[in-house]
Amino acid sequence: MATEQDLHMNGGDGETSYANNSLIQRKVLMKVKPILKEHITKVYTNIDVSDCLKVADLGCSSGPNTLLIASEIMGMIDEISLRLKKKKTPAFQIFLNDLPSNDFNTIFNSLPDFYKNLQHEKGHNFGPNCFILGAPGSFYGRLFPENSIHFFHSSYSLHWLSQAPEGLIGRGLNKGNIYIEKGSPEAVWKAYFEQFEHDFKLFLKDRSVELVKGGGMVLTFIGRSEHEELTLPTLIGMALHDMVLEVQRYI
């Protein structure tokens, strides 16, 4: 679909880049860290991943947060291996997934320094045994072979829908908005709920095929109650509305 080519976070490492404007997302990653540790521990201790642990980060975007989760997971597994007195920490295959238009170049350019720091912090065995790969594509479709991934992680991504709700297209029910507003009619709420339900079912169905038996997932995304106002979508919507009005002045 067209959105897969058009939508992405602002790339690079400049002042307005996502890399330099993702502090909230980083705080969320750190807040969820105990939950992540609990579930990655269950996976590692309950299934045989002695040779290579395969992890996929879905909706990875770009910037320092992208490789932070990989570093955290590897540190957790190394700690568990030492505690369980296993002979060695397994190799790691980390798949970074986002839409094809994501700034993967910036991520890959940062890998040499990442591997170097990894070896410095965790020992010389980590660099050669860590393999980070890109997996571009929508996570609302298949991304990996059957029974191939031990652990899926996604943070602040699954609240993005695959498309505008079909029930709203061409009906003018949510005119001027790109989200559910406090005063939006019931039909708008219903359309967004049905689109999310459709997308999330697709997501879970595909991950269930790709996940090895006994594997796990940790998914973090924004939710809201019927009467709760979301600040970030409101600000984005206001900015887009002002931009459209500015363009219309010159047409």
For residue 24, what pLDDT is reported? Answer: 65
Using a 10 angstrom Cβ sphere, with 0-12 exposed, 13-18 middle and 19 or more buried, the burial of residue 42 is middle
- What is the model's pLDDT at position 14? 46
More confident residue, 160 or 14: 160
For residue 160, name the pLDDT band (cuts at 50, 70, 90).
confident
The mean predicted confidence, pLDDT, of the chain is 79
**% pLDDT > 70, the chain:** 70
User: pLDDT digit string (tens) for 224-238?
Assistant: 665 555 544 554 555
Give CA–CA dist 99/154, Å, rounded.
14
Q: Quick one: pLDDT at residue 225? A: 62
Per-residue pLDDT of 11-52, as tens digits, reads: 445 443 344 444 566 687 888 899 999 999 999 999 887 689
Average pLDDT over residues 208-234: 77
Q: Distances from the Cα of 130 to the Cαs of 33, 75, 101, 111, in angstroms?
A: 21, 12, 25, 11
User: Do residues 35 and 218 make contact, with C-beta atoms less than 8 angstroms apart?
Assistant: yes
Chain-centre distance for alpha carbon 243:
28
| Per-residue confidence (pLDDT) for residue 121, from 0 to 100 | 80
For residue 3, pLDDT over 70 is answered with no
* Cα separation, 188 vs 168, whole angstroms: 7
Query: What spatial distance separates the first Cα and last Cα of the chain, rounded to whole Å?
Result: 28
Rounded to whole angstroms, the Cα distance separating 205 from 51 reads: 27
Confidence of residue 99 (pLDDT cuts 50, 70, 90): very high
Domains and CATH numbers, the chain: 1-224 (3.40.50.150)
Phi, psi of 41 (to 5 degrees): -65, -45
Q: What is the pLDDT of residue 144?
A: 98
Q: Quick one: pLDDT at residue 61? A: 85
